Amino acid sequence: MSALPYPFLRETFLKALEESGSACSESGWQPIHLTLDDGDTGCFMPLYLKDHSMGEYVFDHAWANAYHQNGLEYYPKLVTAVPFTPSTGSRLRSNNPISQQHCRQIIDEVISIAEDTDASSWHILFPEDNDLKLFDDPRLLKRTGVQYHWLNKDYQCFDDYLGAMTSRKRKMIRKERDEILKQNIEVEVLLGAAISAEIWALFYQLYERTYAKRNGTRGYLTQAFFESIATGMPEQIAMSVATQDGKPIACALYLFDSDSLYGRYWGSLDFPSTDRRENHCQTNRARMLLACHLVLRLTWQFARAFQWQYFQKMPESSTHVSHCVWHKFVRKVGKITPKFQR
């Protein structure tokens, strides 16, 4: 099987975001993507003009406040990112190697676009290490954050993973898994085309419920987006489905490439007890660990750390953001020293 690419920079994924109305001008993500073609190297970089900071998972309130306090407008701004996706990966798509000279041309073009659109700044969110090297330019300021990634240390089965824990933790996890079995809850991992239209419909219902409970919204992504990626890139989608007595009660969506499994969205029907809900969540995530080292042989990326005993030893992984702030702010303030929130 050929290597699977980073899923979030695929044209199929980005078009699904934009054509479904999830990331478009009306939602505050105006696409103005860049394409560089010098004959030998063709390069694509996502670029959005934004009038807010939602859906980025990077807190830049310090920048916005600094602009406001100095009588300047922070919005619109330019962002190179995958909308609603705090996942580290390349922000450049090319079939051939890209040089620093290519990236300097891109920076020059972004600055030109900023002048045309009156954008305050440009922000590259969650670039991989190689992108940082390519965009090593004095006009860019770097910021480092932390995520927690589960790594497969050549585990051949779930017992191998448990074997790396203390005896107390092994007993605790096995006891919890036994409790799930007593409730007749089973979790199955479905890949791509095996996910039925009925399961996709249930998943979106649960996705909306999760957001409604958390912040009273319906979520950033539309049902049309999920329908689009379901048909356009099924080979990079996995979904775990929990059933009780044969009835689906919870779903979790994941995307994957040849190296990593990316935890994205999940939701569940109402449970009568907190213990039962938490037991389901633990079983669901445990099942995805099994998928990681029995089916996909991958690492597992999360945007945040769960307070959950399976992941107490998850190593920290650095994430990066690069900022380019235009001269009008520097000239007004004299220096750039905002304190970032995390």
Task: Write the DSSP assignment of 238-254 as a string of letters.
Answer: EEEEEEETTEEEEEEEE
CB 123 within 8 A of CB 299: no
Mean pLDDT over all residues of the chain? 82
Question: What is the model's pLDDT at position 301?
Answer: 54
The pTM is what?
0.85
Dump pLDDT digits (tens) for 10-56: 999 999 999 999 999 999 999 999 998 877 778 999 999 999 999 99
Question: What is the model's pLDDT at position 271?
Answer: 54
pLDDT at 239 over 70: yes
The larger pLDDT score, comparing residue 153 to residue 201, is at 201
Banded model confidence at residue 204, pLDDT cuts 50, 70, 90: very high
Whole-angstrom distance, CA of residue 100 vs CA of residue 91: 14
Dump pLDDT digits (tens) for 215-224: 888 889 999 9
Going along the chain from its start, the domains and CATH numbers come out as: 32-149+317-333 (3.40.630), 152-314 (3.40.630.30)
The larger pLDDT score, comparing residue 233 to residue 334, is at 233
Whole-angstrom distance, CA of residue 141 vs CA of residue 171: 48
Question: What is the model's pLDDT at position 105?
Answer: 92
Residue 44 DSSP SS3: strand
Q: At what angle do helices 167-182 and 274-290 cross, to 10 degrees?
A: 110
Neighbour count for residue 215 (Cβ, 10 Å): 9
Q: What is the percent of the chain where pLDDT is above 70?
A: 81
CB 242 within 8 A of CB 268: yes
pLDDT at 308 over 60: no
Q: Return the H-helix or E-strand segment holding 264.
A: strand 260-268
Q: What is the largest CA-CA distance in the chain?
A: 67
Whole-angstrom distance, CA of residue 105 vs CA of residue 112: 11
Question: What is the model's pLDDT at position 303?
Answer: 42
Alpha helices, DSSP H, located in 183-222:
197-215
Banded model confidence at residue 313, pLDDT cuts 50, 70, 90: low
Give the mean model confidence (pLDDT) for residues 170-187.
82
Cα 34 to Cα 106, 111, 165: the distances in Å are 8, 12, 48
Q: How far apart are the first and last CA of the chain?
A: 40
Banded model confidence at residue 306, pLDDT cuts 50, 70, 90: very low
Whole-angstrom distance, CA of residue 147 vs CA of residue 151: 13
The letter for the amino acid at 67 is Y
Question: What is the model's pLDDT at position 147?
Answer: 82
Question: What is the model's pLDDT at position 285?
Answer: 52
Question: What is the model's pLDDT at position 153?
Answer: 79
Give the mean model confidence (pLDDT) for residues 114-130.
93
Dump pLDDT digits (tens) for 283-305: 455 444 444 433 444 455 544 43
Dump pLDDT digits (tens) for 262-280: 887 888 886 544 454 454 4
Dump pLDDT digits (tens) for 64-105: 898 888 888 999 999 999 999 999 999 999 988 899 999 999
**Cis, peptide link before residue 76, omega less than 30° from 0:** yes
